[in-house]
């Protein structure tokens, strides 16, 4: 048998909801005046003038990793687009000129308006070609078209912005390990 719980009836003041609204606003004004009284205790940040410090492994916007010659590391295996729950990654493949690599992406696009930034594309990639470690969390544009990140935008990053112990980033052009990586890959190293 179910137990019936008797609830007390609301008073006239409680039924009008006005008293509850006044109590809620009282809490808000209490915090407001406390902050005016002690402004040095307020936790403020001058955003966007002061950049938000995020950890290195925080999921930000995407980037495509580069080989030592500057080409994208992607082998167009479609695993990232298959793993993506939002279906926001578009890849079109073409044959690669490098005999060690079967194919490369001709087109690689990510629609940031659809992306849920879950990181499954990053985990699914077998060659570590896509990463979300740019620490860029505020993406703003004026048109919907600008939210589609194409391959040139995804490849536009500087190895100096990433830690020295990140070997894959430092092997890219401009990185500290680029010359050694070019020699290992058998690419021409021009000495000036």
pLDDT digits (tens, 9 = 90+) for 132-170: 988 888 888 999 999 999 999 999 999 998 888 888 888
Domain ranges of the chain: 63-185
Q: What is the pLDDT of residue 64?
A: 96
* pLDDT confidence band for 178 (50 / 70 / 90): confident
Alpha helices per DSSP H over the chain: 12-15, 18-37, 79-83, 120-124, 151-154, 167-170, 178-185
Instruction: Compute the distance between CA of residue 68 and CA of residue 184 in angstroms, rounded to an integer.
Output: 10
Q: What is the pLDDT of residue 190?
A: 54
Closest CA to 59 of 112, 117, 111: 117
CB 132 within 8 A of CB 62: yes
**Number of alpha helices (DSSP H) and beta strands (DSSP E) in the chain:** 7, 5
Report the CATH number of the 63-185 domain.
3.30.70.3270
pLDDT at 131 over 90: yes
Instruction: Compute the distance between CA of residue 91 and CA of residue 163 in angstroms, rounded to an integer.
Output: 29
Q: Retrieve residue 44's tokens.
A: 């403020």
pTM, full prediction: 0.71
* pLDDT confidence band for 192 (50 / 70 / 90): very low
The SS3 call for residue 161 is helix
48 Cβ neighbours under 8 A, 6+ residues apart = 138
Burial of residue 16 (number of CB atoms within 10 Å: 0-12, 13-18, 19+): exposed
Q: Residue 99 has what DSSP assignment?
A: T
Question: Span 39-48, mean pLDDT?
Answer: 80
Closest CA to 178 of 123, 168, 165, 155: 168
Per-position DSSP letters for 56-95, written without gaps between them: TTS--S-EE-B-TTSSB------HHHHH-SS--EEEEEEE
The mean predicted confidence, pLDDT, of the chain is 89
Instruction: Compute the distance between CA of residue 71 and CA of residue 15 in angstroms, rounded to an integer.
Output: 68
């Amino acid at each position: 048998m179910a137990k019936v719980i008797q609830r007390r009836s609301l008073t006239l003041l409680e039924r009008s909801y006005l008293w509850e609204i006044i109590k809620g606003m009282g809490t808000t004004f209490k915090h407001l005046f406390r902050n005016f009284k002690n402004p040095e205790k307020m936790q403020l940040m001058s955003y966007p003038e002061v950049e938000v410090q995020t950890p290195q492994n925080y999921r930000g916007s995407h980037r495509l990793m580069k080989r030592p010659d500057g080409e994208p590391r992607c082998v167009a295996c479609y695993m990232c687009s298959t793993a993506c729950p939002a279906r926001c990654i578009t890849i079109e493949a073409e044959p690669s000129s490098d005999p060690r690599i079967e194919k490369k992406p001709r087109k690689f696009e990510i629609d940031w308006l659809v992306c849920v930034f879950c990181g499954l594309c990053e985990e699914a990639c077998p060659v570590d070609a896509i990463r979300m470690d740019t620490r860029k969390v505020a993406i703003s544009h004026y048109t919907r078209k600008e939210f589609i990140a194409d391959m040139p935008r995804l490849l536009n990053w500087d190895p100096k912005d990433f830690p020295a112990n990140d070997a894959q980033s430092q092997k890219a052009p401009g990185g500290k390990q680029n010359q050694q990586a070019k020699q290992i890959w058998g690419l021409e190293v021009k000495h000036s």
